[in-house]
Copies of this chain bind each other. A is one copy, B any other.
Amino acid sequence: MAVRVYFEDTDLSGIVYHSNYLRFMERARSDLLRLIGIDQRGAFEKGDGVYAVADMTIRWLLPARLDDDLVVETSCTDIGAATISMRQRILRAGELLTDADVRAAFLSPAGRPRRQPADWVARYRALSMAVHPA
């Protein structure tokens, strides 16, 4: 996924404010899910549930600046019953700026962990197979 850096993303040190990289990563995860046919809004509106980020380890190596064109790479690293783990990297012209390991948990409307839909798991597996064929 491509991201362009706007004024809204920077802080007074002239670089992208650190928590905004998490927004870029969330956009990339949402786009990936949409691309593989997972309808988060539909699941939320039907009362099935919604993802919440459970934990994340993130390193900021180099800063992004205004007008930069960034690329966010996302891959599934683990598929649990109620969780999905992803590795995400933000690059500018092939140079690694930020990387992160993210785990999201599927939650019921009441906020309890819940198994994610079976066909979503199948879609994640198909994606992982396509990227890392046996």
Query: Could you say which residues of chain B place their CB within 8 Å of the CB of A18?
Result: 22, 26, 52-53, 56
Closest to A39 in B: B67
User: Is A120 an interface residue, CB under 8 A from the partner?
Assistant: no
User: Is A50 an interface residue, CB under 8 A from the partner?
Assistant: yes
A36 CB → nearest B CB, Å: 14
Whether A11 lies near B8 (C-beta < 8 A) is yes
For this complex, into which size category does the number of interface residues on chain A fall? 35 or more
Given contacts A6-B30, A19-B26, contact A12 B44 (CB under 8 A): yes
Given contacts A11-B7, A67-B41, contact A55 B55 (CB under 8 A): no
Given contacts A12-B44, A26-B6, contact A63 B52 (CB under 8 A): yes
Closest to A30 in B: B6
| Distance, CA A13 to CA B8, complexed state (A) | 11
